[in-house]
């Protein structure tokens, strides 16, 4: 086979896979779980999640993609980069369009990779958002039109690299990508390179590991603690997340959940009021608009986000587990409440509550007034989204919690499951 033909074949494969990556991420009629395929090809993100979870959470089936890619790396080095990686394909398109200079001579990719490994040693995944597959996926909410401004910030790395790549071809892939370096490393297990390269690698290993260990220890000491301790402003995380600190570090910011949420309530808030570790993470935002039936809350019959998360930052839940999962807790703001403040017969929150968590207080003049039963409330936000109080804003709002747990109140038993 001559090289021109090979090039045509390679580009056909790359473009088809690029299209596949977009289609699977955006979804449509396909099973929602398929959105996980491309992000979970990365052994880097998978291993990071494995270490943070301290177990292989997704089952044997989902171990196949990252292990297969790693094996491919041992066999053929950067074959993944040149044939499969959708971000690599994207970066290859404008490659060298303006110039073919090499202004970045050092290769921070080794340092970044060993930093990530260093952080693993402490048990805290860091910098997973550098994973190229997560980076690629991060842009797909744009296609679906469900993006938010803060959700684009981390995605800006793509246009930046496209521009830089037009001057120094493939600058991300060859010089910066920790996953690409990981495949090179895998290859060198079989075929060690020259000694000079190893010396440079050794420097990167030591520096990277030290920096990674230090950063991970610092973030565990301060940032994760801060994420949990600031209880006034706890994020409401997708059902299946463990706690704010864990979620912030395991989430690769691939935003597959943002795409998958049929209610569009998984959004990326601006980083204000969040610790550095939590910046640009997806969180739940329940609607504050007046009347939108069927919108703006976490539906009791939906487990989409937990099915698409490639790293288990959102653990897979069954429908039954979803109905038991506590993600927040609702609070009635009496001065704003139609029943408490205006003596109206309202109880719309009680009416819509899927879990029977709104109790009725009729002790005064027999007008029913809502009281939240914290033992039953899951924090799904249905009450908040349907509350018809408008004068002083919503009269029932959901607050985040320290740790998501399963309720054992027997409510989920009232349903039949397939």
Partner 1 sequence: MKCTRNANRGLSRRQFIQATLAGGAAALLGKRASFAMDEIAPDKTDVWVFHGEDKEALMKACLRTISDNGGFFDGARKLTLKVNAAWIRKPNQGANTHPQLVETFLNGCKDQGITELLLPEYTCDKATESFAESGILDAAKNAGARMINLQTDKHLFKDVEVPDGKNLKTARVAVDFLETDVLVNMPVAKHHGAAAMTCAMKNWMGAVEERGLFHQNNLHQCIADSCTVLRPQWTIVDATRIMLDRGPKGPTTNMNIANLLIVSRDQVAADAYAASLFPDELRKKMHFLDIAGEMKIGMTDLSQMDIHRIEVG
- Which chain residues interact with partner 1 by CB under 8 A? 290-291, 293-294, 299-301, 338, 342, 344-348, 350-354, 356, 358, 360, 366, 368, 386, 388, 390, 414-416
* Cβ pair 51, 122 in contact under 8 A: no
Query: How is residue 346 written in tokens?
Result: 């309202």
* Shortest reach from residue 280's CB to partner 1, in Å: 29
* Cβ pair 184, 78 in contact under 8 A: yes
**Residue 78 or 323 having the CB closest to partner 1:** 323
* Shortest reach from residue 239's CB to partner 1, in Å: 17
Helix (H) or strand (E) holding 378: none
Report angle CA 267, 268, 273 to the nearest 5 degrees.
125
Q: What is the DSSP letter of 237?
A: P
* Shortest reach from residue 390's CB to partner 1, in Å: 7
* Shortest reach from residue 343's CB to partner 1, in Å: 9
* Shortest reach from residue 36's CB to partner 1, in Å: 23
* Shortest reach from residue 129's CB to partner 1, in Å: 32
Dihedral angle of Cα 293, 291, 373, 357, to the nearest 10 degrees: -10
* Cβ pair 260, 304 in contact under 8 A: yes
Query: How is residue 106 written in tokens?
Result: 């050092």
Query: How is residue 294 written in tokens?
Result: 């069927």
* Shortest reach from residue 8's CB to partner 1, in Å: 45
**Residue 133 or 339 having the CB closest to partner 1:** 339
Asked whether the CA dihedral 249, 254, 255, 260 is positive or negative, the reply is negative
Environment class of 310 (CB within 10 Å of its CB; exposed 0-12, middle 13-18, buried 19+): buried
**Residue 226 or 344 having the CB closest to partner 1:** 344
**Residue 342 or 374 having the CB closest to partner 1:** 342
Identify the residue whose tokens are 């795409």: 259
**Residue 76 or 320 having the CB closest to partner 1:** 320
Cβ of 252: how many Cβ atoms within 10 Å?
Answer: 28
**Residue 137 or 306 having the CB closest to partner 1:** 306
Query: How is residue 386 written in tokens?
Result: 């349907």
Residue 110 and residue 139: Cα distance in Å, rounded? 25
Smallest CA-to-CA distance from 24 within 340, 317, 256, 264 is with 256
Cα Rg of the chain, angstroms: 24
**Residue 233 or 343 having the CB closest to partner 1:** 343
**Residue 104 or 319 having the CB closest to partner 1:** 319
* Shortest reach from residue 283's CB to partner 1, in Å: 21
* Shortest reach from residue 353's CB to partner 1, in Å: 7
* Cβ pair 139, 158 in contact under 8 A: yes
**Residue 37 or 302 having the CB closest to partner 1:** 302
């Amino acid at each position: 086979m001559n090289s021109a033909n090979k090039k045509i074949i390679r580009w056909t494969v790359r473009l088809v896979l690029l299209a596949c990556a977009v289609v699977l991420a955006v979804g449509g009629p396909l099973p929602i779980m398929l959105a996980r395929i491309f992000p979970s090809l990365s052994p880097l993100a998978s291993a990071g999640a494995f270490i943070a979870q301290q177990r292989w959470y997704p089952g044997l089936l989902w171990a196949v993609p990252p292990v297969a890619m790693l094996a491919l790396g041992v066999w053929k080095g950067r074959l993944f980069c040149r044939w499969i990686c959708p971000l690599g394909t994207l970066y290859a398109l404008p490659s060298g369009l303006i110039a073919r200079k090499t202004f970045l001579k050092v290769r921070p990719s080794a340092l970044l990779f060993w930093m990530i490994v260093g952080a693993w040693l402490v048990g805290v995944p860091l910098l997973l958002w550098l994973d190229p597959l997560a980076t690629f996926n991060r842009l797909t909410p744009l296609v679906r039109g469900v993006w938010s401004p803060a959700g684009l910030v981390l995605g800006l790395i793509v246009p930046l690299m496209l521009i830089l790549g037009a001057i120094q071809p493939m600058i991300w892939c060859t010089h910066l990508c920790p996953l690409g370096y990981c495949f090179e490393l895998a290859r060198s297990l079989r075929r060690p390179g020259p000694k000079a390269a190893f010396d440079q690698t050794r420097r990167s290993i030591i520096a990277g590991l030290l920096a990674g260990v230090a950063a991970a220890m610092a973030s565990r000491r301060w940032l994760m603690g801060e994420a949990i301790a600031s209880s006034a402003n706890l994020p409401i995380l997708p059902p299946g997340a463990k706690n704010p600190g864990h979620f912030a570090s395991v989430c690769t910011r691939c935003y597959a959940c943002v795409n998958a949420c049929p209610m569009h309530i998984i959004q990326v808030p601006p980083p204000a009021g969040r610790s550095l570790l939590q910046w640009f993470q997806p969180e739940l935002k329940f609607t504050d608009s007046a009347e939108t039936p069927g919108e703006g809350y976490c539906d009791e019959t939906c487990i989409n986000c937990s099915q698409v998360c490639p790293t288990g930052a959102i653990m897979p839940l069954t429908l039954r587990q979803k109905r038991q999962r506590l993600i927040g807790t609702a609070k009635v703001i009496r001065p704003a409440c139609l029943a408490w403040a205006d003596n109206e017969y309202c109880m719309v929150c009680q009416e819509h509550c899927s879990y029977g968590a709104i109790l009725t207080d009729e002790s005064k003049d027999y007008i029913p007034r809502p009281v939240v039963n914290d033992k039953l409330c899951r924090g799904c936000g249905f009450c908040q989204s349907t509350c018809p109080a408008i004068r002083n804003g919503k009269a029932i709002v959901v607050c985040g919690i320290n740790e998501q747990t399963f309720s054992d109140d027997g409510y989920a038993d009232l349903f039949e499951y397939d």
